[in-house]
Structure 1
């Protein structure tokens, strides 16, 4: 997760703002319980004479070092356009007081409301506030909006979700996300253990640091203790009551991101919502890959000017929902660009999108009604190694490889060649009549574009814990041999398929490393006929396509100077050991080390993740995550090392976490957590 800005001939640096900008550093914001949060604030120099609205970004990722580069690209830009742009370290992170006990706690929201109260009391403030953020900052923008503070009047949420259970890094379709639940928990486990800056907080930094190292819990313990959609996940999921988010929302994401489905739901359910989907990974659209990037900061200013300055920017004359339809491309694990075109619509669901039903190996409903075949789908534990990462950040090798490498490990159905070009836009759903030989099972469905030359490109996928086929809140055991009618929701897509291309659908009861395996090998039986079909969203052009926004070139403010101390290094290896019948993914990312020239802080990170499994043995599944983070300057040098591991047997999951903290390469603290958590229909 490299928070960096690369130079590009498709992006320009803007320095000539209408209003001169000044930066206030390490501003203290007192909380009602006596704790202090710290913030950087960029605002126009004349804001005391001419007060401005405020924009809040509220994150746990450390304003002084880890996000300092990306903050310098955006916050001065907003300030130069007449805003107080505020970057706050949430409680327990960076230079703010306390310990971060979990993501999206009520305390996090309460603190945000106090921050907004503080903002509105400042002499440079007009009393009108917006929030923005990507990922965590996108999540809490939505969650804080649901608390209905009267001063919070508009938000931009990027790469986020309205449903913490269904669409985040913990579970998907009721299945544990093997590749991401432990990884993200290990990431925050390490991030949270970094110290405050002694130049900011003084001598208390060391006591606080050791407290963070010893007492900050590994989040995976709590996440794995809630394997169904209970009150834990409902908290912070705004889809529990969309009416609570009654302010304008600009929801933004990309087709390569893991959170795109939520944009469709938010455009449908939230008042004054706008939606934007590009070809991008989990990143801001002015710096994201694949290209084209857009002038997203200009769009953000237009949005906030409309709602916080009462300026008609023309933003609402354009289509409410704008998306990039991708042209067919042969599979690559890294794309620099994705050809395509922008489309627009004013509503979702859209009357321009209709349902097309495709019956596996049948060309019509009449043929399907006569088909009563059964097809056995056995477990192949190594199915899924070429699926790419769950939530790509734009690193090399993040995306799925040619699916011909996977298709021999699943049952695959192939359509006839298309006789005309066709646009698919929306959420495919696979309806299936299934039976199983175990009481605990899953089904995974992949949708692919098969080129006339044979390459197979993954364009959507989905999975369902079959014990959740009725409800994610109330799972139940399956009865072996019983036939169940299930619906598997696949990721939304915006994809053109051209004449001569074919659709492929692959079905399997395994998907390592995306899904933690069922406790026993599973044989599924697919019952073909009229109850088994793929429901595809087909879109026709409309007149609003002509009104889509022609985006400006991407702009940023001047980026702070930094010195590269260690270059970045990335590898992603799939290792098959035939003699041992084992498979591994070894995902290594040295995000380098750099020195920030304005404050002298040096920081770096190294992450290695290993996912292993043995053929025909689901209980051999093992996830391991290693982290090393350094932060310091001159005579102040710190390092944190962590190791996290997850395994299982038929009854339980087993978690191990260890942490070591070093000052000047001398170990000063360590801790270990070991937990056994019962399997709950997983």
Structure 2
């Protein structure tokens, strides 16, 4: 009987494994046994001959071939550096435990030994990957959603393979998560003393909750403190542990109202006083040597600048702001254009004392909201009415469309930068959403302070990798090896050792401005941002059109290019591709905006810095939100997204005061704060520029009436926008010419 069943099974496999489709009859997701049997059968039927060793392992595991799976995963693990295999090591211990008669005990024991043998940094990385960014819920829901959307009958080999891989992730993490959570947390207790019950009173009666982390050791030497000031409660303990493992005391101060604080939650508004008082508290502790340094990214970068709004605390010796937002400059609006991504962020950080992940990850809610708003054409200030929940912070933002006193009170303003005299290391990336904030601080500090001791490190990183360790690829672009630096674990603490302990400065900081030149595998080092550039490529818009492209010319010309945008049309959008994701693609939307193309470059050039624009046009409205995107069209006809600018014409001259346009009169609008980049552009490439008007579901729609944009609606769209660009309109690309060096 067993032999007949085996022959039948082998025959079934031979027939179905190479077929285009496989039989599929849905089981109940709640029936784990039936589901496991079905996934095992699918894994057996799938053609896996051309899969990678790691993917082969997944199918072997689901098929129940645990010895073979263990061999495959050991081979995969051997090829990956230990700091990049947090997931793989879970797979390895899972496969080993599957060979035991008691899976849970076997996994617990082996994983416990593994964690104890790991050094501090490795365990911190395990915490970040497996606890802080716990993937379990995502993998479970991803499999469940995929499975639920498949109809019974037959499925293709590709769908079957995808389903087995997702089942693998769902199964492995749901069955091990609780175990490795506990083992990692227990190991933290073995290495560190964590005091998470500290509440500090502020002078105005408010409270700030603080967490203190120290490495367990017998030394009584007083130490410097590394402070992270954050609204992201519960997410920075690993950073404090990292500081403790490096010989410092890690301190986390959460925004007032968060964690154990009984105050009201007020994002952005009180860091300019609260952080200073936290530093003062640190100096009075018995373990403190009265030296404090700060680091952190995004909001945690902003808090460092905020702490110096009124004066620099004598104990604050240095800051390392990474991808720092600048309220009113690049958050929640960009060049005075309010984006709706901040709408959900407000609920994420204010719904409770920690973080509301459920609200933040309710993508259906946020997508439905922005699509409904766009389709109906109601005013932007009705978003929370559509949502059905009052958004107090959002309504406050909308009352301050210019850079007014509301924003100015949060961070240093103009001459207030002059007194900041401590060493600073600013870190950001070419594709960091907060790059404009980071560079704003850098420029203002250099404008008002005399010879500031301020360094800049920037490369092909985004908002996340510029705070940690870049991966080999960013948005489908493979980074040069020289760009693969460990920012958080190496560069930052080398800087702290340099400033606080008199050790060598990080070797990568050879000058004040240090930037990686994409596609050259090299870094350049210059004394200032202006020194990055010694030449300029200037292109003028021209009405001559070949196929889908207008011309970019080297000289001004008398031509005119017209563009019409119907704001009543809600079946289509404009400016949907300005955000650089992916970085390189085969095609762009040639029907969205005005597309201009240059002649082929006759020699290699390096674009270094921020492109500028001087647009001359007339418009039949009083205002317009516009964008400019710059691409490299490679000799292989690939479009590489270099940089973009988006802004409001009425604030182009001054972000603090709105200067409306005069309808049908020629206007000149200039900008110089596009996203900075450094990249080699090879001979034969062309520059493609897309000039557009912003009309989509991701930001305000400026109908051009001259009234408050937040109150405008589709009722103001009776007359289409008509804009006429002249041939005096130019785009200038800053370049480095080695011949002039």
Same structural fold, with TM-score higher than 0.5 when normalized by the shorter chain: yes
Correspondence 1:424 to 2:607? yes
Q: Which residue of 2 aligns with 1:49?
A: 220
How many Å apart are 1:174 and its aligned residue? 2.3
Post-superposition CA distance 1:44-67 (Å, at most 9, x none): 44587200011110111112xxx1
Task: Out of 284-293 and 451-460, give the one that drifted further.
Answer: 284-293
C-alpha distance in 2 between matches for 1:133 and 1:10: 24
Q: Please say if 1:156 is aligned against 2:320.
A: yes
Matched with 1:330 is none
| Structure 1 residue 400 displacement after superposition | 6.0
Q: Deviations 1:257-301 (Å, cap 9, x if unpaired)? A: 112234445445341111111222212543444365422222111
1:180 to 313, 318, 341: 341
For the residues of structure 2 that align with 1:496 and 1:15, how far apart are their CA atoms? 39
- Name the residue aligned to 1:203: none
Q: What secondary structure, in the 3-state scheme, does the structure 2 residue paired with 1:145 have?
A: coil
420, 444, 454: which is aligned to 1:273? 454
Which one is further off, 493-502 or 25-34?
25-34
Match of 1:368 in 2: 555
2: CA distance between counterparts of 1:458 and 1:367? 22
CA contact (8 A) 2:613 2:731 kept: yes
Structure 2: runs of 5+ lacking an equivalent = 1-76, 85-117, 123-189, 357-388, 447-451, 545-549, 567-571, 704-716
Deviation at 1:405, TM superposition (A): 3.8
1:507–1:407 distance in 2 versus 1, CA, 3 Å: same
* Matched position secondary structure for 2:502: coil
> How far apart, CA to CA, are the structure 2 residues paired with 1:413 and 1:294?
36
* Residue 118 of structure 1 pairs with residue 281 of structure 2: yes
Contact kept? 1:448, 1:458, Cα under 8 Å: yes
The CA deviation string for residues 284-343 of structure 1, in whole angstroms up to 9 with x for no partner, is: 54344436542222211121122222334465972222112223xxxxxxxxxxx84322
Q: Which has the higher helix share?
A: 2
Secondary structure of the residue aligned to 1:117 is helix
* Aligned-partner Cα distance in 2 for 1:94–1:542: 57
Name which of 520, 532, 538 aligns with 2:729. Answer: 532
* Mapping of residues 269-668 of structure 1, within 5 Å: 269-270=445-446, 271-283=452-464, 284-289=466-471, 290=474, 292-296=483-487, 297-313=489-505, 318-327=510-519, 340-350=521-531, 352-361=533-542, 368-369=555-556, 371-379=557-565, 382-388=573-579, 399=582, 402=585, 404-489=587-672, 490-519=674-703, 520=717, 521-528=720-727, 531-540=728-737
Whether the aligned pair in 2 keeps the contact of 1:459 and 1:493 (CA below 8 Å) is yes
Separation in 1 of the partners of 2:354 and 2:554?
Answer: 61
Kept after mapping to 2: 8 A contact 1:469/1:487: yes
Cα deviation, residue 452, structure 1: 2.7
Change (3 A) 1:375 1:321: same
* Cα distance, 1:226 vs structure 2: 0.6
Secondary structure at the counterpart of residue 424 of structure 1: strand
| Cα distance in 2, alignment partners of residues 121 and 491 from structure 1 | 42
Change (3 A) 1:191 1:9: farther
**How high is the TM-score relative to the length of structure 2?**
0.60
1:427-473 Cα distance to aligned partner (Å, 9 max, x none): 10111111101123222111111123333232111123122233222
Q: Distance in 2 between matches of 1:368 and 1:16?
A: 56
1:233 equivalent to 2:407? Answer yes
**Residue 61 (structure 1) aligned with residue 222 (structure 2):** no
Shift of 1:222: 0.6
CA 1:95–1:495: 2 relative to 1, 3 Å: same
Aligned length: 486
User: Given the alignment, which residue of 282, 295, 304 partners 1:132?
Assistant: 295
| Alpha-carbon distance in structure 2 between the residues aligned to 1:400 and 1:508 | 19
The alignment status of 1:77 with 2:242, answered yes or no, reads: yes
Q: Give the aligned partner of residue 43 of structure 2.
A: none
Match status 1:99 vs 2:258: no
Once the two structures are overlaid, the 10-residue window that deviates more, 120-129 or 512-521, is 512-521
More relative contact order, 1 or 2 (CA 8 Å, 6+ apart): 1
Say what the alpha-carbon RMSD is for the aligned residues: 3.4
Higher Cα Rg, which structure: 2
Are residue 219 (structure 1) and residue 402 (structure 2) matched?
no
* Cα distance in 1 for residues equivalent to 2:577 and 2:227: 39
State which of 318, 330, 346 in structure 2 corresponds to 1:167.
330
Q: What residue ranges of structure 1 are gaps of 5+ in the alignment?
A: 1-6, 196-214, 328-338, 390-397, 545-682
Q: 1:313 to 1:20 in 2, by over 3 A?
A: farther
Q: Distance in 2 between matches of 1:233 and 1:47?
A: 47
Counterpart CA distance in 2 for 1:287 and 1:452 is 31
Q: Contact (CA 8 Å) 1:386, 1:403: kept in 2 or not?
A: no
Q: Distance in 2 between matches of 1:60 and 1:366?
A: 49
Tell me how far apart the structure 1 counterparts of residues 509 and 516 of structure 2 sit (CA, whole Å): 19
Residues 383 and 409, structure 1, Cα contact 8 Å, conserved in 2: yes
Evaluate the alpha carbon distance shift between residue 264 and residue 467 of structure 1 in structure 2; reply closer, same or farther with a 3 A threshold: closer
TM-score of the two chains, using structure 1 as the length reference: 0.65
Inter-partner Cα distance in structure 2 for 1:218 and 1:408: 38
SS class of match (1:115) = helix
